[in-house]
Structure 1
Amino acid sequence: MAHWRALIVLGTAQFLMVLDTSVMNVSISRLVEDFDTEVTAIQTVITLYALVMAAFMILGGKLGDIYGRRRLFLLGLAVYGAGSALTALAPTLWMLTLGWSIVEGLGAAMVLPAMAALVAESYRGPDRAVAYGVIGGLAGAGIAVGPLLGGWLTTYLTWRLVFAGEVVVVLIMLALRSWVTEARRTGPRPRLDGVGAALSAAGLALCVLGVLQSSTWGWVEPRNAPFTVFGFAPTLFVITAGVLILVRFHAWERGREAHGRDPLVHLALLGRPALRSGLTTLLNQNLVLLGLFFAIPLYLQVVQGFDAFQTGLRLLPVSAAMLLASAVASRVGRAAGPRRVVRLALTCLLVAVVWLLATIKPVIDDAQFAGAMALLGVGMGLLASQLGNVVQSGAGEEERSEVGGLQFTAQNLGSSLGTALVGSVLIGALAQAFTTYVADDPRLSERARKQTSIALESGVSFVATDQVRAAAKQAGLPPSQVERVTNAYASAQLAGLKAAILVTGGITLASFLVTGGLPAGRPDRRTPTSPGTAAGGPG
């Protein structure tokens, strides 16, 4: 038993960091109410959490190589616990953002790469396969438990208890720190590439910021933008600036390698086809999963009026199917090869997206919705069973921490982009559809059209139809006009949701293009499935 003590601490860390995102996604409506804000503000908080992890994950892996993985793991836990405490007590949205999105995100960026390397170091041969299986199972359990636990606490008590509980768990893990050991490192320590870290973080942040704010700023025509560039919305300029900084990061890293200095990341790793395809597919997997996990709770809570616990119950088929498919497919992959399994997974996701589109109606069909959710979970589970093995098979022992950093960066960049992109499309399509429905309804008066136009110019948000009805009454519209405007908004809600879900289908379809680099046969037997790929989000 003593041999597996380290796995208890390391696995619990994985579970906690997957739990967070799934809890927040089912608590969106309550967070909007508690902080007197809008859905787009909570979208920003969720996106920022994943973005902070994506921006600093490679740096976290490098710091573990420099200062020791065990030391960074424990420091990251302390930071994460402090962020959880701040989140549990947050009186304002800004404090929530600081505690959850920034402090917890930085803690996770220190913990996760160190955890992946410590598992690889602590267990060898068949034991490592068992250890990675346990870690992956705990990540899947975080997805399964998160919506139910978060939904129940949010509905009947308060979501804050989740984060208060995390503080207690972190304190217990720190008390058991002697269970986690690390071999003494030999040879010179790598040197930190501070400029590379700053360039990568800034480039990623600007790219995601541009996508996130597109629903507010507009893509080309400016809406509620704080400034304009030559009369255009700043969105594309911000994204372009991020891309240019990433290009500069690439050149900087090449220069450091050419002069024999330690880079933040060895770019030659990305030249390996299997590793590159695995990372890209992993990014797309989390983009689709977190994008859907942002849009679907809005459909269930805002359109259907379900509470957080009822929402968690309806997301349960995803989690259960994902766990089951991941366990079964790990054996199938050994015979069929990762490429075939991943392509089967993407096919399942495409069918699930089409099925979901058919279920987005004013009155939900629970059986059809559960079927679509279960198929989505099957597709995600099939992906989770293969991608970690593919990524880690592309790394040697000395590269494992760096490749782990790339793996978690891809996952969390996908998560942040998924929430930002799907949220942007949803709001944009909602505004466009609302405008069209109002303009095309001959029964609406000119006054109603004018009032709607004024409201749209000040910004549109995804809110319950009761709020739209109340706003129309407050504007002095007659009852018949109030109901027509409300009905137009209700139809626009469904159009926006369908557009957002359709985008995830397009991303899934595009993912087929990168599967050619995946191994057709069984991956390297020496490298077992890596941790965390069963998670959507941090893990």
Structure 2
Amino acid sequence: MTETSAEQTTTRTSWAPMVGLFLAQVLMSFNVAALPVSLGGMVQDFGVPPTTVSSAIVTYGLAVAALVMLGAKLGQRVGWVLIFRVVVAVFAVSALTMVLAPSVGWAIAAQALAGASAAIIVPSLVALIAENYHGSQQATAVGSLGSARAISGVSAFLIGGALGTFIGWRPVFLIVLALAVLVFLLSFRLRGDGPDRSVKIDVVAAILIGAAIVLLTLGFNNLNAWGVLLARPDAPFDILGLSPAPVFILLGLILGQAFFFWTRRRTRAGKVPLVSLSVLGSPRERAAVYAMFVVVALEAALNFTVPLYIQIVQGRTPLDTSLAMMPFNLTVFIVATLIVRFYSRFAPRTIGVFSFMLTTVALVWLAFVVTNNWETLPTILGLIVFGIGQGALVTLVFNVLVTAAPKKLAGDVGSVRGTTQNLASAVGTALAGALLVTILGLNVGQAVVDHKELPPSLVAQVDLDNVNFLSNDDLRTALERTDATPAQVDAAVAVNEEARLSALKLGLLILAGVSAIAIIPASRLPKYRPGEIPEPDNVR
């Protein structure tokens, strides 16, 4: 097809099919964003610690990351349009399960089902855009996915916060259910190639990558509960006294390397791999994946940390959470939408490095200025600056991958994106919880030693040196069941307040260090602008 005919085709293509694809991205992102803002309500409703509720967030990301490469091949074999409709219907079932969930186990199972569905929706979005749109219209469609993800965060925190405060957390997932039904109806406007029965699914590779991601996620998610090195009492088993968490992480890394070895071997033999590694063929594309992993992990960590402190520590409402996060989420949405205007003026490398510098500065700033009041001007300023860097990066790194790969590998690009983003989200949430609880435990342990008002007998009664995050009111309630004096109660509450804030500040500082390290892969992003000749190692 010539450029003229391609452009004519582009101008004749209706945007109506894109509405359904846009809302499909909104569906997935709204579901994920609704979980943190529902944290307090789920903790109260199910009577479990916040770290247990966070398992639902982790489970969703785990399921997507573990199954998305398999989902991409299933989409090619069954047909993208048909399988898209099926999994959107399954997503609706998962939303209904969340609404009716009688326990946290049901909520976790519902998110596993949603994640398995999203594992096919994620690559199908890229593949269906490639089949329905071409030229500049395709670039606009791809860019809209980043905007959809950002606007979902804004709407989920605002709507979810209001509903969670005045009605409850369950109606939030009625919105997810309504979105799924709407996307299903709009899917009949899509067109796509029929099933390709010649596509073979590499079962060995699917097992290797799935097992690797499950082990990595379980290992990171349970570092605190099972032990960073030595096994704790809550660990399901131990290996000569060693915690299974680091063992799982090590095995996950080994299986991940085995997946790449197997895939390269299969490609050299002329067989179709589970995912084409050519989408990661240059250092610039690999740098985009590394940058994507870090930026999504940082976002997930912040989206878990802020609701944790506002709803659990401060005992405030979900609406308070949504208002506190509004500067960040609104900034991400605006920047993710407008950043494409700068692509013709600045190279991806320049935008990437500058954006990671912004997120690093913002996290360092927050570590020093954050207090128990999230509405202070310095805190809002830090969240806005972090949102600018975050919004630019989310759209940038995805566009680098899409524009570098040929259209026939659109499904593979989608699966790489899905694996990276959802593994990063799961790991970011898990590490944030483990990091904060570990720091809190160390802080409380040291503070208990320093406060002579707290005798060992009282510490043993409330188990202060084996803490999780709890509000001052909850701590006072626990102390009422002991023989603590009013002075000792006040001392214990003071220890709790100081330790929590210190854990938050140190946690933000560690995240800033991770952001600073990410400048290295960002410096390897493409340095050419659209229309310029790319570097030799980026030419296929």
Structure 1-normalised TM-score? 0.93
Contact 1:58 1:265 in 2 (8 A): yes
| 1:199 counterpart residue number | 208
Tell me what 1:533 maps to.
Answer: none
Which residue of 2 is the match for residue 139 of structure 1? 149
Alpha-carbon distance, 1:363 to partner: 4.2
Deviation at 1:525, TM superposition (A): 8.4
Measured at CA, do residues 245 and 77 of structure 1 come closer, stay the same or move farther in structure 2, by a change above 3 Å? same
Q: Kindly indicate whether residue 199 of structure 2 is the aligned counterpart of residue 190 of structure 1.
A: yes
1:418 is matched with which residue: 405, 428, 445?
A: 428
Q: Which amino acid aligns with 2:356?
A: L
Matched residue pairs, number? 522
How many angstroms apart in 2 are the aligned matches of 1:298 and 1:185? 45
Task: Name 2:524's counterpart in structure 1.
Answer: 517
Specify the SS of the correspondent of 1:517: coil
Partner of 1:32: 43
Q: 1:261 aligns with which of 257, 263, 271?
A: 271
Q: Which amino acid aligns with 1:174?
A: F
Whichever residue aligns with residue 506 of structure 2, its letter is A
> What corresponds to 2:217 in structure 1?
208
CA–CA distance in 2 between the matches of 1:481 and 1:118?
63
How far does residue 289 in structure 1 lie from its aligned partner after superposition?
0.4
Within a 5 Å distance, the mapping from 1:71-470 to structure 2 comes to 71-99=82-110, 101-184=111-194, 189-223=198-232, 224-364=234-374, 366-451=376-461, 454-456=463-465, 459-470=466-477
One-letter code of the match for 1:522? Answer: R
Q: Is the 8 A contact 1:295 1:500 kept in 2?
A: no
Deviates more, 1:247-256 or 1:143-152: 247-256
For residues 246 and 456 of structure 2, the distance between their equivalents in structure 1, rounded to whole angstroms, comes to 35
SS state at 1:176 partner: helix
Of the structure 1 ranges 84-93 and 248-257, higher mean CA displacement relative to structure 2 is found in 248-257
What do residues 28-49 of structure 1 show as CA deviations (whole Å, max 9, x unaligned)? Answer: 1111001111011011111111
Q: Please tell me whether the aligned partners of residues 276 and 409 of structure 2 are also in contact (alpha carbons under 8 angstroms).
A: no
Deviations 1:407-455 (A, max 9, x none): 1211111101100111100010111100000011123334234435x45
Matched, 1:484 2:502: no
Q: Which residue of 2 aligns with 1:531?
A: none
Counterparts of 1:75 and 1:52, CA distance in 2: 17
SS class of match (1:251): helix
Per-residue CA shift, 1:497-534, capped at 9, x if unaligned? Answer: 2232222212111101112321112156899xxxxxxx
The alignment yields a C-alpha RMSD, in angstroms, of 2.0
C-alpha separation in 2, matches of 1:502 and 1:11 = 35
Give the SS at the match of 1:134: helix
Q: Distance in 2 between matches of 1:43 and 1:252?
A: 34
How many Å apart are 1:283 and its aligned residue? Answer: 0.7
User: Percent of counterpart pairs with the same letter?
Assistant: 28
Q: Tell me which residue corresponds to 1:534.
A: none
Which stretch shows the higher mean deviation, 356-365 or 39-48?
Answer: 356-365
Gaps of 5+ in 1: 528-539
State the AA in 2 paired with 1:222: A
Partner of 2:501: 494
CA distance in 2, matches of 1:288, 1:202: 24
Residue 97 of structure 2 contacts residue 106 of structure 2 at CA under 8 Å; is this kept in 1?
A: yes
Q: Cα offset for 1:472?
A: 2.0
C-alpha displacement at 1:185, in angstroms? 6.7
SS state of the match for residue 523, structure 2?
helix
Q: Is the 8 A contact 1:389 1:523 kept in 2?
A: no
- Bigger RCO (CA 8 Å, 6+ sep): 1
| 2:519 is equivalent to residue 508 of structure 1 | no
1:83/1:524 Cα in 2 relative to 1: closer, same or farther (>3 Å)?
farther
Structure 2 contact 314–471 (Cα < 8 Å) conserved: no
1:510 and 1:305 map into 2 onto residues whose CA distance is 34
Change in CA separation of 1:433 and 1:23 when aligned onto 2, cut-off 3 Å: same
Which runs of 5 or more residues in structure 2 are unaligned? 1-11, 535-540
Contact 1:144 1:319 in 2 (8 A): yes
Whether the 8 Å CA contact 1:61–1:114 is kept in 2: the answer is yes
- Report the Cα offset of residue 303 of structure 1: 3.1
Distance 1:315 1:242, change over 3 A: same
Whole-Å Cα distance in 1 between the matches of residues 141 and 228 of structure 2?
A: 46
Please state how far the C-alpha of 1:201 moved relative to its aligned partner: 0.9
Deviation at 1:92, TM superposition (A): 0.9
Deviation string 1:208-257 (CA, Å, 9 cap, x unpaired) is 11111011111123323222211222221121111122222222222322
Whole-angstrom CA distance in 1 between matches of 2:526 and 2:255: 32
Say whether the 8 Å CA contact 2:30–2:153 is kept in structure 1: yes
- Return the offset for 1:333: 2.5
- Using a 3 Å threshold, how does the CA distance of structure 1 residues 492 and 126 change in structure 2: closer, same or farther? same
Task: Choose 349-358 or 262-271, whichever is displaced more.
Answer: 262-271
Q: CA, structure 1 residues 273+324, in 2 after alignment: closer, same or farther (shift >3 Å)? A: same
Query: For residues 234 and 386 of structure 1, do their structure 2 counterparts lie closer, same or farther at Cα, with a shift above 3 Å needed?
Result: same
Q: What SS class does the counterpart of residue 154 from structure 1 fall into?
A: helix
* C-alpha distance 523-222 of structure 1, shift in aligned 2 (>3 A): farther
Residues 358, 478 of structure 1: alpha-carbon distance in 2 compared, 3 angstrom cutoff: same
Residue 68 of structure 1 corresponds to 79
Cα shift at 1:364? 4.3
8 Å CA contact 1:57–1:113 kept in 2: the answer is: yes
Moved more, 77-86 or 358-367: 358-367
CA deviation string 1:462-483 (max 9, x = no partner): 1112112221221221221121
Contact 2:28/2:118 (<8 A) preserved: yes
Q: 1:365/1:158 Cα in 2 relative to 1: closer, same or farther (>3 Å)?
A: closer
Amino acid of the structure 2 residue aligned with 1:305: G
Q: Does 1:8 align with 2:19?
A: yes
Match of 1:501, as an amino acid? L
Answer yes or no: is the 8 Å Cα contact 1:295–1:501 preserved in 2.
Answer: no
Aligned-partner Cα distance in 2 for 1:386–1:239:
29
Q: Which amino acid aligns with 1:220?
A: L
Distance verdict in 2 for CA 1:365–1:312, change over 3 Å: closer
| CA contact 2:19–2:186 (8 Å) conserved in 1 | no
Deviation per CA, 1:123-165, whole angstroms, max 9, x where unpaired? 1112223323433322221111110011111111122222223
TM-score w.r.t. the length of structure 2 is 0.92
| Residue number in structure 2 paired with 1:535 | none
